[in-house]
Amino acid sequence: MTDDRYHLTVRLMHWIMAAGFVFMWGCGYAMTTLVEDDSPLEELLFDLHISVGVTLLALLAARIAIRLVHRPPPLPAAIRGIERTAAHLGHAALYALPALVIAVGWAETNFGGHGVQWFGVEMPQVFPETGEDLQDLAEDVHKWLAYTMLAVAAGHVAAAFKHRWLDGHDVIRRMTFGAR
């Protein structure tokens, strides 16, 4: 077990963003597979998906800044070799993949000639309008990057539980609230 914890702001950002991405995966799945095309519900889900995505992009930028100020506690010494390497690569992926997923989603929207709106506020047009071919490619890349991020996040959660319940070093406690 370790008594080292992440800074409070890091823990807050971690859980806020985790909830945001769980919403995004559910919303993305619902709007592309469960809801009737061109229905008012689909439009609402698309608007929410885009707005929450913009919010998560801002939170990701803030999280990176916070991480630079508040360095993470060291991994327990018992985590060695390939597990230590996997932990570092997994954490790096959980910063890079959200940035890529959001950027490609923004590109998909702009490529199709649509503006990105954050809860009704028009955001800058970052990518040129290119038509359906590039929009369709961006849609596929966005989806598969999101699935990849979901797999990495699931691996992250599984590793935390494995360390807690099988290895006996409670790394979960480093990212939670309450008594030590």
| pLDDT of the residue at 101 | 98
In a domain, 180, yes or no: no
Residue 73 lies in a domain: yes
CATH number at residue 95: 1.20.950
Mean pLDDT to the nearest integer, 94-101: 98
| Residue 3 forms part of a structural domain | no
Model confidence pLDDT, tens digit, residues 55-74? 999 999 999 999 999 999 99
**Global pTM?**
0.91
Domain of residue 141, residue span:
8-175
What integer pLDDT is reported at residue 76 of this predicted model? 87
pLDDT higher than 60, residue 3: no
> Based on the structure, what is the number of domains in the chain?
1
- Looking at residue 168, its pLDDT comes to 81
In a domain, 38, yes or no: yes
- Kindly state the tokens that stand for 111: 């490529």
Q: Are strands 121-122 and 117-118 parallel, antiparallel or unpaired?
A: antiparallel
2 pLDDT higher than 70 = no
pLDDT of residue 180: 59
Classify residue 133: in a domain, yes or no. yes
pLDDT for 93 = 98
The average confidence (pLDDT) of the chain is 94
DSSP string, 111-165: HTT---EETTEEPP--S----HHHHHHHHHHHHHHHHHHHHHHHHHHHHHHHIII
Give the Cα separation of 49 and 37 in Å (integer).
Answer: 15
pLDDT tens-digit readout, 121-156: 999 999 999 989 999 999 999 999 999 999 999 999
